[in-house]
A and B are shown apart, each in its own frame.
Chain A
Amino acid sequence: AQTVTQSQPEMSVQEAETVTLSCTYDTSESDYYLFWYKQPPSRQMILVIRQEAYKQQNATENRFSVNFQKAAKSFSLKISDSQLGDAAMYFCAYRRYYGGATNKLIFGTGTLLAVQP
């Protein structure tokens, strides 16, 4: 079974600074997808960024980028130029490439990010 681990329950960053959130996962599969989701107090999960395991290039979306280390099974999220609106719970998630009957997401326990003005 696949598992996702986020070892940082809480993180804090100053506005305009850079912060990195960590995520490790365990799987025996070679192809899969990894995601970072943001969950603000409104509870609605919002996709931040997505990485396909077969792609060596790290995904980037504006101020958000990932450091995907497949051999180490590590998938960290870097937020540059942090903004007050980035404050939220961030979840790392895994999905099988060949989902079979399902394409369910497997989530970590989350990291609560605070942004200080």
Chain B
Amino acid sequence: GAGVSQTPSNKVTEKGKYVELRCDPISGHTALYWYRQSLGQGPEFLIYFQGTGAADDSGLPNDRFFAVRPEGSVSTLKIQRTERGDSAVYLCASSPTGSNTDTQYFGPGTRLTVL
């Protein structure tokens, strides 16, 4: 596609439920990033994929959060046993190679609300 797309745009769930958030990067981009943006804050890094592998998952807050990218393109962020504190906008970004000269291109995010 022309840009990074994320689905759903909005997701409302109940505390304790499981959710999946999808990111479709720009075609051909090997690097993919997930960030979380809480209300009134800047985005915070969660995880970085280079191809199919998670090269850096140091930002994942706990073991309820997990992400995959099985074919090196689409990625899914999975959150188990959701808590109200997980409510935030989840942003995905991709870049061509992951090199330090790359620009990261962001999607419109998924707003997750946990009731």
Contact = CB atoms under 8 A, between A and B. Distances in A.
Contact of A105 (B58, B89, B104): B104
A103 B48 contact: yes
Contacts of B55: 101-102
Interface stretch (A12-20, A68-76, A90-98): A90-98
B20 interface: no
Interface string B75-108: 0000000000000010101010011101111111
A45 interface: yes
Assign chain A's interface to a size class: 20 to 34
B1 interface: no
A43 B100 contact: no
Contacts of A104: 33, 45, 48, 56, 59
Interface in A48-89: 50
Contacts of A117: none
B100 A96 contact: yes
Interface of A is mostly: loop
Nearest to A46: B106
A109 interface: yes
Task: Tell which of B44, B56, B91, B104 has the most Cβ of chain A within 10 Å.
Answer: B104
Given A101-B56, A105-B35, A105-B43, 15 more contacts: A43-B109, A44-B3, A45-B106, A50-B103, A103-B95, A103-B98, A103-B99, A103-B104, A104-B48, A105-B45, A106-B45, A107-B42, A107-B43, A108-B42, A109-B42
Interface of B: 3, 31, 33, 35, 40-45, 48, 55-56, 58-59, 89, 91, 93, 95, 98-100, 102-109, 111
